Amino acid sequence: EAGVTQSPTHLIKTRGQQATLRCSPISGHTSVYWYQQALGLGLQFLLWYDEGEERNRGNFPPRFSGRQFPNYSSELNVNALELEDSALYLCASTRGQPHYEQYFGPGTRLTVT
């Protein structure tokens, strides 16, 4: 069974630009979660999508947004990039019930210069 995939692996942008990160969940999983992990820090919850709808978001500004497509893949968009947005962005999928285990993709490392 294929795991969660994310693209690109690395992304370098300059301040003020926009970044788009993509995630494909495990087959049969309908929920996608996005997390940010800045260097040396813990994972911070960003967004949760389930069945195409945004169900919850963490304490991040509105320039962090995303969507979920009918095939359950998801996209995270970060507008007006700031230096502190440099981090590893992780996507996780689960079967849809929040209490189920989440499985993570390898992440996209975003560097903002």
Partner 1 sequence: RKEVEQDPGPFNVPEGATVAFNCTYSNSASQSFFWYRQDCRKEPKLLMSVYSSGNEDGRFTAQLNRASQYISLLIRDSKLSDSATYLCVVNEMDSSYKLIFGSGTRLLVRP
Considering the rule CB under 8 A, would residue 101 count as an interface residue with partner 1? yes
Stretch that binds partner 1, among 19-27, 37-45, 60-68, 72-80 (CB under 8 A): 37-45
For residue 78, give the H/E element and its range.
strand 74-78
Helices (H) then strands (E): counts for the chain: 0, 11
Instruction: Choose between 16 and 98: whose C-beta lies nearer to partner 1.
Output: 98
Residues 6+ apart with CB under 8 A from 61: none
Q: Which of 13, 20, 30, 43 binds partner 1 (CB under 8 A)?
A: 43
The label of the residue with tokens 């507008």 reads 79
Q: Which stretches of the chain bind partner 1, using CB under 8 A?
A: 33, 35, 41-43, 45, 48, 55-56, 58, 88, 90, 92, 98-99, 101-107
